A and B are shown apart, each in its own frame.
Chain A
Amino acid sequence: GDSVTQMEGPVTLSEEAFLTINCTYTATGYPSLFWYVQYPGEGLQLLLKATKADDKGSNKGFEATYRKETTSFHLEKGSVQVSDSVVYFCALPDSWGKLQFGAGTQVVVTP
């Protein structure tokens, strides 16, 4: 069945460093792909999405490119801030509208 695999955390890095969180997927067809974030004590919020192959989703300095040749949707940010210290989830929907989430990656950015 459809699934996503993302790198385990925590990922610890210094402020202004480059962030990459790997996400690969297995799917029938070419579904949309999502990155969600979860702030402490809150529900998940959509960070960005891409709806078809080669699309690039972007928001708040984060980017991810939908690459069907490598079945990947890696999340990147060129210069992280302490406020980016949250948990990130990769996800894809199945044909029934149900989202398959990755296990989540906690990012810790130190000043």
Chain B
Amino acid sequence: DAGVIQSPRHEVTEMGQEVTLRCKPISGHDYLFWYRQTMMRGLELLIYFNNNVPIDDSGMPEDRFSAKMPNASFSTLKIQPSEPRDSAVYFCASSSYGTAKTDEQFFGPGTRLTVL
């Protein structure tokens, strides 16, 4: 298995631009999580999906952030417009808690976002 795949690995953009981060979860997993990691705030859960449906988006910082999961093999996290304070590493993770009851989460390598 290829594991969780994220793209791009690095993104540098200017303030005000739209940024789209992509994630392909492990096949068969029914949960998908988006996290943000910074030195100041540590690891924060932004949103998670179960069977492609958003369950809890209370961690999404503001309306500039949105996430979608159009099918079981793909999810996006979009920031529009981006701001310098959005600079962070964004991780996607997946798990099969709902079916196999193995509640371990598998993380992707992350996308390092820099907003200038």
Contact = CB atoms under 8 A, between A and B. Distances in A.
Contacts of A89: 43
A63 B101 CA distance: 23
Of A49, A93, A99, A104, the most chain B CB neighbours within 10 A belong to A99
Nearest to B9: A41
B110 to A, nearest CB: 5
A27 interface: no
B56 A44 contact: no
Which 5 residue pairs are nearest across A and B when measured between Cβ atoms? A43-B107, A97-B97, A93-B103, A44-B107, A43-B91
Interface of B: 4, 31, 33, 42-43, 45, 48, 50, 55-56, 91, 93, 95, 97-98, 103-110
A66 interface: no
Contact of A32 (B4, B42, B103): B103
Could you tell me the dominant secondary structure of chain B's interface residues? Answer: strand
A42 interface: yes
B109 A97 contact: no
Contacts of A32: 103
A90 B104 CA distance: 12
Please tell me the size bucket of the interface on A: 10 to 19
A11 to B, nearest CB: 17
A1 B33 CA distance: 19
A93 B97 contact: yes
Interface string A10-51: 000000000000000000000010100000011111100100
A104 B107 contact: no
A43 B4 CA distance: 10
A42 B48 contact: no
A49 B104 contact: yes
Interface string A64-106: 0000000000000000000000000100010011110101100
